[in-house]
Amino acid sequence: MPDAEPIEFEDPVLGHKLSFIDTERDGQPVTRVEMWVRPGGGVPPHIHPVIEEQFEVLEGRLQLLSGRKWGEAGAGETVVVPPGKRHAYRNRSDAEAHAVCWVSPPSEMLAGFLGDAAELAQAGRLTRGGLPKHPSAVLQAAVLATHYRPMVVLGSPPMRPFGLDRVLMPPLARLACRRGYEPGAIMGR
């Protein structure tokens, strides 16, 4: 596998810095995501329908949600999240946590989604909980939710009553696209 430059960005809302690179692990292709999670940082519950994540804590402590139960992992510990399992992570300590997440199969969409979300956060368009602050940010979020849905489903079934996300997001995303929003170019780059 050829060496490539990592994709790096920081998300001020989710409180983490991430570095993505496609590589191999145990002879298998994977995406390696190096994570630095500030105190109070983390991601909300979500599901990856087809990818497995292995969170390996290098320094500090991370709380990891798997299903409905939170657990804690420290340096040298690994937590495996199979495809289709609701999960999240957060740092509730007062020191930065450093971890690596091994993503299998490799996923360019994961870096795309988190990079687009980080751009919205850097532009001040998301609340601390990661929700859109303005109507135009709702349209931008709808583009992301619709485009990246094969890779990530945000929230959990109780947070998506009656499938409203599947009913509302596609028409909002179409409206957003007509206004010029698209994945990878959310902020007009």
Residue-level pLDDT at 166: 67
Q: What is the pLDDT of residues 37-55, one digit of tens each?
A: 999 999 989 999 999 999 9
Residue 88 pLDDT exceeds 80: yes
pLDDT digits (tens, 9 = 90+) for 176-188: 778 787 777 544 4
| Cβ pair 137, 126 in contact under 8 A | yes
Q: Over range 104-120, report the average pLDDT.
A: 91
Please state the rounded mean pLDDT for residues 131-148.
84
Three-state secondary-structure class, residue 174: helix
| Mean pLDDT, residues 159-176 | 65
Tokens representing 103?
A: 């993503």
Higher-confidence residue of 70 and 153: namely 70
DSSP 29-46: EEEEEEEEE-TT-EEEEE
Residue 76 CA to residue 11 CA, distance in Å, equals 25
- The mean pLDDT value for 99-124 works out to 92
Least confident of 5-9, 53-57, 96-100: 5-9
The least confident of 61-70, 141-150, 162-171 is 162-171
The enclosing H or E element of 151 equals none
Q: Is the pLDDT of residue 160 over 60?
A: no
Average pLDDT rounded to a whole number, residues 164-187: 70
- Residue with more model confidence, 150 or 8: 8
pTM summary value = 0.85
